Amino acid sequence: MMETEFIELPELNVRNAGFKGQDLVAPKIIDDLPEILLISSYPPRECGIATYSQDLVKALNNKFHNSFSLKVCALESGLQNYTYPEEVKLTLDTTDTRQFKELTYAINDDDTIQLVVIQHEFGLFQNNEGAFMRFIHRINKPIIIAFHTVLPSPDSVLLAKVKVMATVANSVIVMTNNAASILHNEYQIPFEKISVIQHGTHLVPHHDKQLLKEKFNLSGRRILSTFGLLGSGKGIETTLESLPAIISENPDVLFLVIGKTHPSVVKAEGEKYRKKLESNVRTLKLEDHVKFINCYLPLDTLLEYLQLTDIYLFTSLDKNQAVSGTFSYAMSCGCPIISTPFPHALEVLGGDDDMFIDFQDSFELTKKVNRLLGDEELRSTLRFNTLQRIVTSSWENSAVAHALLLQKTMWNKVEDNGFSEQYFQYKPKRMSLQFTMPEINLDHLKKMTTDVGVIQFSKINQPDIDSGYTLDDNARSLIAMCWHFEQTGNPEDLKYIVVYLDFIDYCLQPEGYFLNYVDAHQKFTDQNNIINLADASGRALWAMGLLISKSDLLPAALVMQAEAILKKALPSTLKMHSTRAMAFSIKGLYLANLKNKSIETTQLIRMLADRLVQMYRHESESDWKWFESYMTYANSILPEAILCAWMETGDPVYQEIAKTSFDFLLSLTFSGNQIKVISNKNWFHKGQESCNTRGGEQPIDVAYCILTLSRFYDAFEDPKYSRKMAEAFSWFLGNNHLNQIIYNPCTGGCFDGLEETHVNLNQGAESTISYLMARLTLGKYLEAEDEG
């Protein structure tokens, strides 16, 4: 594979999974990318904004590596000798007025720099505010300013400063709605200039809490924690004062204070504050219940400490703190949180009284902690609610939001004639957003798979064995793993193929039909007597046909087992009348016949296809080219099955209906270059004006559409199908109505659905396998290109 992979298909270089209003056709190699210059403190400097900026740069590069070039101008305070990573192009000593002027010339004279993004915190420029204000006025490139602090009730001096900065900037970023309201209401900044992009958070794998406690020698302890660069504003004393009463009810409690003292605090007063806290611990005899971790932890270690935390405590004394990165990170790890009511917490946690205490109220903190420690169910509820509230802020989603704003700001300046004289002093470029193709990751599928088969559901990303197994999921898993083996040749795939195939064999009954639902104890459940099993049977036949079609690659024993299953199940297809059951069966029979040509199989394909044709002729009208009077789930497999029938028989009737019906479906599910599949909240019926219900979009429908587009592209080599394939795949990466990821690159799982206002955080088998099927489908084109 190439060093960097993008969504790229033959004929059209569709690297970019596309946002609205942009060209999907990108050149194969892009050498002349627009450069974005980020001005911020930056590691190895130790401060929250430095960490934030590095995380943002990493997220944008991971998500849009071939869309723009990100460079950094690192802010310093006085003479410092940092060794920076390669993305740092320039430095600025904010105590040196002369360097501001030199930086102005460097930016204005550099035609590669198309946009300047400034991470603003008053403390970063407090030694030379006048030079900073002159600097932003003299820059002749578009500017975005991200305000990390927005203070309410400004005096006249502060008001004037912020209004000038916001006026100079083409766009302004804040991290909470509260901050946006303050900017608008108190600083008179128009809302259309303000973008709210939450502080980014890391997706975490949500490891087992007890295993993590064992790793850090904390077994048997219930953990309270707080973290961040230490200073008196953290209010750690509040927790220390509450601990004796907490310990009296919960003697196993340990309070972790994670983080070194803030460098600026050390510079001003040394370790005075830490020594005061240590003295308080001794006075209160808390040595066995408080542990200071006095270092700047690596990210992975920090996130593990947060994941093992039972309750996270945020006791900041700053009533106007606009946003807290430490608070956001704790939320991303699913920590139940007790916090003082600063604006960021009030906004993201809502009005849940269980999670708030007043400033410096150690008595109330004691009550809240003891209540939470005594109520495991409440902690579990708070954990889930916290994760649901914070998932939108993942760095992946933050990258999408930032990229859209970068693009909008650059495009607006290219098109804005009112500023053309100023901004055309440099050579403007349009920026086309191009998603980077994620690496294939089987971790979650393997985690969901036992010796029996793939488990049906998960809670977040933890397999829920009580949900049991289904034939549906194991048939899909078999298909995905066969494709993966075909593309990688990884011998480990074979053991999973065996598991899934054996499960399908187990579900096949002596009479030749399949059962679908199996519980955790490998017993068939009563659901099999209630729910129509025809579609599951069709999926099993599809899986068998797919495996048989790979007979040149797979062990003969597996192929023979699949052939035996198919042979035994074939008579049941004669009784099929469910549209999707017949469609899945046609696909499987077509694939099987690629290797073992059989007149009888061809006749069976024709029989099932004719039933679908009859349904199509009965329901279709001039404005309704479909097989039923409604559209539900997995719609694309119907035209795909008819296409397979045409490819098997050459019957032009099948070809015409396949193309007409599929084009009709595409006209309903694509708008611009974004897919929106039929919502499962209310199916789309003939005669309805539109199918634009938001929410209820399932990964399986998007994946099946991609599979069908692939089949049509292979058959007709029409570029519109390859283009829409990439557009559809981008749905998983954030090109949807929420601009949020559906695929979770941290776990390799896929969220269970896109709702109107949120993403379903559970990562069950159906959604995860559906994503893998879509990703592997695009993978075969990347593989073919590499071979070429």
HEC secondary structure over 626-667: CCCCEECCCCCHHHHHHHHHHHHHCCHHHHHHHHHHHHHHHH
What does the block give as tokens for 759? 């993403």
CB 200 within 8 A of CB 324: no
pLDDT reading at 25 higher than 80 = no
Q: Which of 609, 669, 613, 600 is nearest to 641 (CA)?
A: 609
CB 608 within 8 A of CB 676: no
Instruction: Please state, as a whole number, how many other Cβ atoms lie within 10 Å of the Cβ of residue 623.
Output: 8
CB 431 within 8 A of CB 61: no
Element (H, E) at 404: helix 395-415
Dihedral of the alpha carbons of 484, 486, 491, 492, in degrees to the nearest 10: 10
Q: Residue 7: what pLDDT?
A: 38
CB 398 within 8 A of CB 278: no
Q: Residue 734: what pLDDT?
A: 96
Q: Residue 413: what pLDDT?
A: 58
Q: Residue 786: what pLDDT?
A: 52
What does the block give as tokens for 414? 């290219």
pLDDT reading at 411 higher than 80 = no
pLDDT reading at 16 higher than 70 = no
CB 344 within 8 A of CB 286: no
201: which DSSP letter?
Answer: B
Most confident of 66-70, 354-358, 711-715: 711-715
pLDDT reading at 20 higher than 60 = no
DSSP secondary structure, 700-712, as one string: HHHHHHHHHHHHH
What does the block give as tokens for 183? 């900017």
Residues 765-787, mean pLDDT to the nearest whole number: 85
313: left (phi over 0), alpha (psi -120 to 50) or beta: beta
Least confident stretch, 60-64, 77-81, 377-381, 636-640? 77-81
Question: What proportions of the chain, in percent to the nearest 5, are helix, strand and coil?
Answer: 50, 15, 35
Whole-number average pLDDT of the chain:
90
Cα angle for residues 438, 443, 447 (degrees, 5° grid) = 150
Higher pLDDT, 382 or 441: 441
Q: Which residues contact 199 (CB under 8 A, 6 or more apart)?
A: 52, 175, 323, 324, 325, 328, 344, 393, 398
Residues 519-531, mean pLDDT to the nearest whole number: 95
Least confident stretch, 229-238, 321-330, 425-434, 623-632? 425-434
Q: Which amino acid is at 748?
A: G
320: which DSSP letter?
Answer: T
Q: Which of 614, 618, 644, 485 is nearest to 558 (CA)?
A: 485
- pLDDT tens figures, 482-513: 999 999 999 999 999 999 999 999 999 999 99
C-alpha to C-alpha distances, 525 to 119, 518, 565, nearest whole angstrom: 57, 6, 22
Residues 412-438, mean pLDDT to the nearest whole number: 60
Burial pattern 426-448, b for ≥16 Cβ within 10 A else e, equals: bebbebbbbbbbbeebbebbebb
CB 724 within 8 A of CB 732: no
**Helix, strand, or coil (residue 73):** strand
Euclidean distance between CA atoms 200 and 95, whole angstroms: 29
What does the block give as tokens for 122? 């008053």
Q: Residue 48: what pLDDT?
A: 87
Rg, C-alpha atoms of the chain:
29
Q: Residue 545: what pLDDT?
A: 98
Euclidean distance between CA atoms 539 and 578, whole angstroms: 12
Burial pattern 9-26, b for ≥16 Cβ within 10 A else e, equals: beebbbbbbbbeebebeb
Q: Residue 14: what pLDDT?
A: 32
- pLDDT tens figures, 27-73: 334 457 899 999 999 999 988 899 999 999 999 999 998 899 999 99
Instruction: Please state, as a whole number, how many other Cβ atoms lie within 10 Å of the Cβ of residue 751.
Output: 27
Residues 389-397, mean pLDDT to the nearest whole number: 91
- pLDDT tens figures, 752-765: 999 999 999 999 99
Residues 568-595, mean pLDDT to the nearest whole number: 95
Residues 571-600, mean pLDDT to the nearest whole number: 94
Q: Report the percent of the chain where pLDDT is more than 90.
A: 77
Separation of first and last alpha carbons in the chain: 11
Where do the H-state alpha helices sit in 551-698?
A: 556-573, 579-595, 599-619, 637-649, 652-669
Residues 92-96, mean pLDDT to the nearest whole number: 94
Contacts 24+ apart (CB under 8 A), 163-166: 163/187, 163/188, 163/189, 164/133, 165/120, 165/133, 165/136, 166/193
* pTM as predicted: 0.90
**Do the strands 630-631 and 670-671 form a parallel or antiparallel pair, or are they unpaired?**
unpaired
Euclidean distance between CA atoms 145 and 166, whole angstroms: 8
Euclidean distance between CA atoms 772 and 488, whole angstroms: 14
- pLDDT tier at 416 (50, 70, 90 boundaries)? very low
What does the block give as tokens for 267? 């510079």
672: left (phi over 0), alpha (psi -120 to 50) or beta: left
Q: Residue 669: what pLDDT?
A: 95
Number of H helices, E strands in the chain: 29, 23
Q: Which of 661, 664, 671 is nearest to 728 (CA)?
A: 671
Higher pLDDT, 446 or 20: 446
CB 239 within 8 A of CB 359: no
CB 640 within 8 A of CB 582: no
> φ and ψ at 544, to 5 degrees?
-65, -40
DSSP secondary structure, 341-399, as one string: --HHHHHHHTT-GGGB--TT-HHHHHHHHHHHHT-HHHHHHHHHHHHHHHGGGBHHHHH
> φ and ψ at 363, to 5 degrees?
-65, -45
The structure tokens 């394939």 sit at 725
Q: Residue 12: what pLDDT?
A: 27
Where do the H-state alpha helices sit in 65-96?
A: none
Q: Residue 268: what pLDDT?
A: 87
Q: Report the percent of the chain where pLDDT is more than 70.
A: 93
Instruction: Please state, as a whole number, how many other Cβ atoms lie within 10 Å of the Cβ of residue 491.
Output: 8
Dihedral of the alpha carbons of 128, 133, 139, 144, in degrees to the nearest 10: 100
Residues 248-261, mean pLDDT to the nearest whole number: 95
Residues 426-454, mean pLDDT to the nearest whole number: 88
Angle (deg, nearest 10), helices 652-669 and 699-716:
140
What does the block give as tokens for 553? 């690659």
C-alpha to C-alpha distances, 37 to 33, 68, 108, 141, 754, nearest whole angstrom: 13, 10, 12, 10, 34
